[in-house]
Amino acid sequence: MPDLSTTLAGLKLANPTLTCSGTCGYAKEYADFMDLSQLGAFVTKSITREERPGNEPTRIVETRAGMLNAIGLANVGLKRFLNEKMPVIRTMPCPVIANVAGYSYEDYVETCAAMNGLDGIVGVELNVSCPNVKDGLTFGTDPVRLKDLTRQVKNVLPDKPLIVKLSPNVEDIIATARAAIEGGADMLSLVNTFTAMAVDIWKRKPRLANVTGGLSGPAIKPIALHLVSRVYRGIARSTGTPIIGMGGVQFWQDAVEFILAGASAVSIGTALFVDPATPNKVCTGLEEYLAKIGVEQLSDLVGTLELPGDKPKAAL
């Protein structure tokens, strides 16, 4: 049987499929529809220090080959997360990663400090695609600010791996990737959604109440793949920083593309709305693929994409 296990900065996962934050609740909401025990890891909805109702509806619209969301980080907040969600999370049959968001440095630091000692949480993913309330600038698009934020968070999270989730809405993703690594990120995940909009031509108004939202799903996969490849070759490979790739993964072939491009694992989000069992099916497909090409360990394929100018790869 081929070995799908992957080790991410010391975190050993049975297979490389994770859920994308925000697409399947806090823990067991999808338990009737997917086999949670077969996930490499489950990633929670973003948790903020304070409870948030999120944006007004309409906050999700379907687009061609994808969807737009402007949920506005609706979530129960740290206190209720600890009291109501953690008892359920502790009974999960797979590792759970908490995704944390914030609107100030203090927000992130306080929430991540609370995660550090929590049993039942194996790591923290930082959603940095949020504007700072003080000046409205997004944490994840400015390398100086991102490095500072990562450093402050890592200081209060010494006992768990920190994953910084990169925004694709930047001119130079290697600059933000480098900032996160220099700030102390143990891993990178990419990408978050692309800022986009859709128009109702009859009302001549935006389809989302928030006007803009984040585009996800198959429509973004080729761009996400390109960004993973750039970050892997531009910084992550040389620093030994594992990448969790995401953006439009729907079939096992998509996961293989991300892994060849440099991802050590993949997260699956929008595809869950079509078929919640997607991660389980991706694993089956990966096993069959490895058997077909005669490779024992999936991890041997990470970053083995050969680009023009590369030294030819050893035969598989």
Ligand X SMILES: Cc1cc2nc3c(=O)[nH]c(=O)nc-3n(C[C@H](O)[C@H](O)[C@H](O)COP(=O)(O)O)c2cc1C
Binding site for ligand X (CB under 6 A): 20-23, 45-46, 67, 69, 71, 73, 99, 127, 165, 192-193, 216-217, 220, 246-249, 268-271
Query: Which one, 219 or 298, has the nearer CB to ligand X?
Result: 219
Q: In whole angstroms, give the CA distance from residue 247 to residue 283.
A: 17
Residue nearest to ligand X (CB): 22
Q: In whole angstroms, give the CA distance from residue 190 to residue 223.
A: 11
CB of 291 to ligand X, least distance (A): 26
Residue 134 CA from chain centroid, whole number = 26
CB of 79 to ligand X, least distance (A): 18
Query: Which one, 111 or 216, has the nearer CB to ligand X?
Result: 216
| 20, 24, 94, 130: the active-site residue | 130
CB of 46 to ligand X, least distance (A): 3
Query: Which one, 206 or 247, has the nearer CB to ligand X?
Result: 247
Query: Which one, 69 or 293, has the nearer CB to ligand X?
Result: 69
Query: Which one, 86 or 297, has the nearer CB to ligand X?
Result: 86
CB of 27 to ligand X, least distance (A): 14
Q: Is 24 a catalytic residue?
A: no
CB of 119 to ligand X, least distance (A): 23
| Angle (deg, nearest 10), helices 105-116 and 143-156 | 30
- Which of the residues are catalytic? 130
